[in-house]
Amino acid sequence: MEQTLILIKPDAIEKRLTGIILSRFEALGLEIAGAKAVSATEELLRKHYANLAGTPFVDEVVRFMMGDYNHLPDHRIYAFVLRGENAVSRVRAALGATNPDKAEPWTLRGQFGCVKNGVMQNAVHASGTPEEAAREIALWFKPEEVLA
């Protein structure tokens, strides 16, 4: 069984989309193996987005993930480990393209994302490959927080 990391981003939390997003993964038959609310630090987010280091938009993306984009008094991310057959590719397909303006209309990002001030507010993160999933799950969860 494959595992993948999902992050419900601050834009989706603010729009109260958490339940709708989770229901889509549940409908795919995926099992929740870990769940938590995280007030993510800049250090954690820079490690998570290490692949973006050096890009002109990384600072904006980190700020967005810390909820700074709309001056929310309280910032949070909901992190989940989902498990199931081909979980990584099936969840990515449910998300759609990175850019919400280009994502297919039946995908989560196509339906709930937007681009504001050059930052893609795309509602959900999901690991891109099984290797990425292993790295990201280890970053966001302690081993004992994920069901065996």
Residues of the shown chain interacting with ligand TYD in the complex, contacts defined by CB under 6 A = 51-52, 57, 61, 98, 119-120, 122, 125, 128
Minimum separation from the CB atom of position 89 to ligand TYD (A) = 13
* Shorter beta-carbon distance to ligand TYD: residue 97 or 147: 97
The answer to whether the CB of 115 falls within 8 A of the CB of 101 is: yes
Minimum separation from the CB atom of position 52 to ligand TYD (A) = 6
Bridge partners (DSSP) listed for residue 114: 121
75 included as an active-site residue: no
The answer to whether the CB of 55 falls within 8 A of the CB of 69 is: no
Interior angle at CA 130, CA 127 and CA 135, nearest 5:
70
- The gap between the terminal CA atoms of the chain, to the nearest Å, is 11
Amino acid at 147: L
* Shorter beta-carbon distance to ligand TYD: residue 129 or 147: 129
Catalytic position from the list 48, 71, 75, 125:
125
Q: Phi and psi dihedrals of 97, rounded to 5?
A: -65, 155
* Shorter beta-carbon distance to ligand TYD: residue 41 or 98: 98
Distance, in Å, from the CA atom of 61 to the CA atom of 20, rounded to the nearest integer, reads 23
Give residue number: closest CB to ligand TYD.
98
* Shorter beta-carbon distance to ligand TYD: residue 22 or 136: 136
Token pair 């993930």 in the structure block, residue: 65
Q: Indicate which residues carry an active-site annotation.
A: 125
